[in-house]
């Protein structure tokens, strides 16, 4: 049961990462901060966040969807 829950959690994380890669709520917004549009700052932050999320996924849940054991794949880092 716990395994199931974690799976859904990761699917949810990926869905959110995809859905807000473009900040729809800033549509038509032209505000700038430090010389760049606010929506561009969102993009910068979002890419860093995605990178962190992917690193955590790779560390903790990588083989979840593949039906393999870490030992089977050889080195597991």
Residues of this chain that interact with other proteins (CB under 8 A) are: 14, 17-18, 21-24, 26-30, 32, 34-37, 39-40, 43-44, 46-48, 50-51, 54-55, 58-59, 62-63, 65-69, 72-77
Three-state SS at 30:
coil
Q: Are 17 and 53 in contact (CB under 8 A)?
A: yes
Q: Considering the complex, what minimum distance in angstroms separates the CB of residue 19 from other proteins?
A: 9
Q: Are 62 and 71 in contact (CB under 8 A)?
A: no
Q: Considering the complex, what minimum distance in angstroms separates the CB of residue 63 from other proteins?
A: 8
């Amino acid at each position: 049961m716990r395994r199931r829950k974690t799976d859904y959690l990761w699917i949810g994380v990926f869905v959110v990462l995809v859905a807000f890669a473009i900040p729809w709520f800033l549509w038509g917004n032209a505000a700038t901060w430090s010389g760049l549009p606010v929506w561009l700052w969102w993009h910068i932050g979002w890419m860093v966040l995605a990178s962190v999320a992917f690193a955590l996924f790779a560390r903790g849940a990588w083989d979840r969807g593949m039906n393999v054991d870490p030992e089977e794949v050889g080195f597991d880092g």
